């Protein structure tokens, strides 16, 4: 991410006030980082030349070796400066260089009289380095900054070994976590891209649960500082996370196995996301648990406003498997789906013609399929004469379909033995039907279940109307419709 974009997002998250507290053990490069940061990122954005010179003069001293350079907290610049950012943005910016926590082997916090005392802006009395570091860290992070940077080292920037820094490092990180402000750790090293520094950064990240970035504070570039600020942005809390699913997954029934699996995984891993950096972790968890996924992407991450979007894409073969499962049609490819849709589209057009009639049949027992314009057959015009007048006779016909509901009755009369056995059997059936009405259809009678027996009886009556009777019924209906006669006498024999 470019420095301009990073600044824009940080301005959005901090509402225009970028106050960075630099904390950590002594002799880790805190002052060096501040000087480099201001040189590269702050001074170029200050238009007032006098303010720029004053800010440069207020930069902290930095040095090598074991001697402690920062003996009191220092605001850099002394007053927050307003910097002009691209796209018309403005930001109030200031860094705070804290007194570091003492480490074994460092020089400068003890003099001839014993422990060296230092002054802080938060007390009229002098205090020890240790107390100043503790109070300063808490005050700076809690009251004077909205972003924290812990600067520690792998032991390569001075002749102090790595183990001398561990206790102070653990303490300051513990205190920052208690304060709840977003922060990351910078691992200062003369070889930040070496295997040892990278491995140590990974170990510290796992140990503290926070991002650890290996850097060389003395030779930081603008791109590296932008990367540091980007990592800081990922430590801010997220305000909203949305998960986009394929539309067809949303259309699945709530109880479908795939939908239940996806929703459970989202609830388990996405609902509890707190920081922007956790989005990638949640995305990988979704990919691990839902084998049906083709990809789990993050197409949108608005770090400025704390919004993220996760997009889940399901494998194409899973789509076709579920489509086959739900519809009963065997679909294996886009070509097969296209062919099926053409066929179903044609069938739907035909069904739409009779749908209204079927509903009428269900409601009142009689339904009519009305002819459309395309069904009308126009006969040849016929010239007619009426006295001295001549005219044309135009005739047309169109088929109409009449659907009549006719209830078919069927009954079975199984014999079960004695009167008492019959009464017991009837009582048992009534009880079963009361508890679960559907169970009676699976009840066996002489090796056949009741549903098969009833269907057999009904089907045997479906074709009892002889063909000549069908023709007579059709002819009668046509006469009623065309001649307008409403009277009907029907004799069945």
The helix (run of H) or strand (run of E) holding residue 127 is: strand 123-128
* C-alpha to C-alpha distance for 211 and 184, rounded to whole angstroms: 5
- Look up the pTM and report it: 0.65
Structure tokens at 12: 């959005």
Helix (H, G, I), strand (E, B) or coil at 64: coil
Domain ranges of the chain: 3-233, 240-325, 419-462
How do the pLDDT tens digits run along the chain, 493 residues long? 566 677 778 777 777 778 888 988 888 888 889 889 888 888 887 878 888 888 887 776 665 544 455 546 677 877 777 766 655 667 778 888 877 777 877 665 555 556 667 777 767 777 776 777 677 777 777 777 888 999 999 999 888 889 999 998 998 899 888 888 889 999 999 999 999 999 999 999 999 999 999 999 999 998 898 888 888 888 888 888 999 999 999 999 999 999 999 999 999 999 888 888 889 889 999 999 998 999 988 887 787 788 889 999 999 999 999 999 999 999 999 999 999 999 999 999 989 989 999 999 999 999 999 888 888 888 888 888 887 888 888 888 888 899 998 888 887 776 666 777 777 777 877 777 777 767 666 767 666 777 777 788 788 887 888 888 888 888 888 888 888 766 777 776 6
CATH number assigned to the domain with residue range 240-325, chosen from the 4 options 1.10.533, 2.40.160, 3.10.20, 3.30.70: 3.10.20
Please name the residue ranges forming H helices in 235-390.
247-250, 257-269, 278-289, 316-327, 334-364
Return the CATH number of the domain spanning residue range 3-233: 3.40.50.300
Task: Count other C-beta atoms under 10 Å from residue 184's C-beta.
Answer: 23
Spatial contact of 232 and 182, defined as CB atoms under 8 Å apart: yes
């Amino acid at each position: 991410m470019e420095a301009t974009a990073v600044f824009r997002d940080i301005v959005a998250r901090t509402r225009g006030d970028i106050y960075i507290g630099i904390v950590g053990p002594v002799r880790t490069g805190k002052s060096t980082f501040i000087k480099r940061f201001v040189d590269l990122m702050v001074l170029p954005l200050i238009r007032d030349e006098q303010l720029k010179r004053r800010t440069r003069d207020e930069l902290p001293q930095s040095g090598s070796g074991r001697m402690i350079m920062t003996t009191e907290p220092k605001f850099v610049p002394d007053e927050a400066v307003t910097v002009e950012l691209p796209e018309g943005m403005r930001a109030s910016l200031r860094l705070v260089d804290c007194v570091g926590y003492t480490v074994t082997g460092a020089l400068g916090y003890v003099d001839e009289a014993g422990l060296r005392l230092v002054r802080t802006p938060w007390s009229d009395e002098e205090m020890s380095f240790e107390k100043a570091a503790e109070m300063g860290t808490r005050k700076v992070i809690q009251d004077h900054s909205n972003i924290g940077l812990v600067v520690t080292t792998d032991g390569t920037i001075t002749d102090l070994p790595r183990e001398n820094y561990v206790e102070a490092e653990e303490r300051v990180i513990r205190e920052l976590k208690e304060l709840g402000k977003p922060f990351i750790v910078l691992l200062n090293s003369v070889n930040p891209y070496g295997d040892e520094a990278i491995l140590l950064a990974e170990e510290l990240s796992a140990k503290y649960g926070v991002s650890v970035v290996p850097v060389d504070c003395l030779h930081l570039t603008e791109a590296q500082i932008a990367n540091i600020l980007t990592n800081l942005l990922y430590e801010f809390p997220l305000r909203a996370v949305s998960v986009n699913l394929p539309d067809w997954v949303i259309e699945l029934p709530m109880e479908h196995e795939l939908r239940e699996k996806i929703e459970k995984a989202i609830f388990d891993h996405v609902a509890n996301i707190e920081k922007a950096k956790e989005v990638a972790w949640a995305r990988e968890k979704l990919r691990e648990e839902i084998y049906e996924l083709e990809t789990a992407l993050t197409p949108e991450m608005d770090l400025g406003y704390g919004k993220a979007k996760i997009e889940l894409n399901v494998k194409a073969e899973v789509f076709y498997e579920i489509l086959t499962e739900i519809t009963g049609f065997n679909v294996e490819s886009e070509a097969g789906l296209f062919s099926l849709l053409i066929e179903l589209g044609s069938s739907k057009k035909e069904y739409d013609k009779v749908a209204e009639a079927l509903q009428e049949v269900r409601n009142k027992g009689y339904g009519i399929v009305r002819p459309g314009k395309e069904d009308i057959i126009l006969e040849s015009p016929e010239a007619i004469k009426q006295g001295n007048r001549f005219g044309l006779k135009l005739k047309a016909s169109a088929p109409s379909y009449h659907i009549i509901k006719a209830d078919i009755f069927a009954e079975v009369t199984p014999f079960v033995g004695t009167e008492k056995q019959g009464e017991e059997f009837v009582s048992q059936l009534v009880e079963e039907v009361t508890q679960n009405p559907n169970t009676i259809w699976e009840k066996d009678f002489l090796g056949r279940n009741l549903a098969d027996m009833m269907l057999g009886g009904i089907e045997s009556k479906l074709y009892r109307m002889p063909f000549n009777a069908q023709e007579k019924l059709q002819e009668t209906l046509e006469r009623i419709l065309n001649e307008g006669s409403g009277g009907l006498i029907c004799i069945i024999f």
